[in-house]
Amino acid sequence: MKELRTERTTVKRSPSRGKYGREDLFEVLDAAYVCQIGFLHDQIPYVIPTAYGRDNEYIYLHGSTKSRLILNLLSGQVCCINVTLLDGLVLARSVFHHSMNYRSAVIIGKAEELVGEAKMRGLKIITEHILKGRWGESRSPNDKEMKATAVVRIPLQEGSVKVRTGPPKDEKEDYDLDIWAGELPISTEYGKPLADPDGNRTIEIPDSIKKMTDGRHNA
């Protein structure tokens, strides 16, 4: 399978932390909910967070047809997408060597607008990424909602993944210092589901939510 690496997505700082396999990228994308998209608007770079979904070849985004983000993505410019998972604080003996453990992905590409069946499929991919099974449990988008929404996809052809794991890397002479050093792991957990007080609160919690504890999103 083709690598994501190009000249401009080759990790130069700490290159041993760089990965370029599609599975490496999918692992990061599947464990997160939010991506940040960098684009130029009136020559100013903006970085805007948003939800996403993916299949084997594309990342999918949606937004209002009037959204500055979407309009800029569809202007033909190249955008840059980042997804970051924070796994821990790395507490070194020296201030200099403090760090973080993480898995992060960078994707570079041009967006393409989806219409018709492909647009509906894109919305399904995004919804299912947020909560697997939710598409089938919810009311489908109507014509008015479809008209108000734009769906775009960006190919997963050029990018990189960077991963840091493990303890701090201090200077040799500092390991004898009487200073606590190590890792403070960070994990994300779901809380108890709270039924909307403005609806029927006797409806049973759906399977999609019950399955959340299977670990897929507990990254």
Q: State the sign of the Cα–Cα–Cα–Cα dihedral 9, 10, 15, 19.
A: positive
State the nearest-atom distance from the C-beta of 58 to ligand FAD, in Å. Answer: 18
CA atoms of 161 and 28, how far apart (whole Å):
8
Closer to ligand FAD at the Cβ: 18 or 206? 18
- What's the number of CA atoms in the CB half-sphere (13 Å) around residue 189? 4
For the chain, how many residues are written? 219
Closer to ligand FAD at the Cβ: 87 or 128? 87
Here the tokens at position 150 are 């734009």
Closer to ligand FAD at the Cβ: 8 or 210? 8
Q: Is 23 helix (H, G, I), strand (E, B) or coil?
A: helix
Please state the φ and ψ torsions of residue 206, each to the nearest 5 degrees.
-70, 160
Closer to ligand FAD at the Cβ: 17 or 121? 17
State the nearest-atom distance from the C-beta of 98 to ligand FAD, in Å. Answer: 8
Residue numbers at the binding site for ligand FAD (CB under 6 A): 8-13, 84, 86, 100, 102, 104-106, 160-162
State the nearest-atom distance from the C-beta of 95 to ligand FAD, in Å. Answer: 12
Here the tokens at position 21 are 């396999």
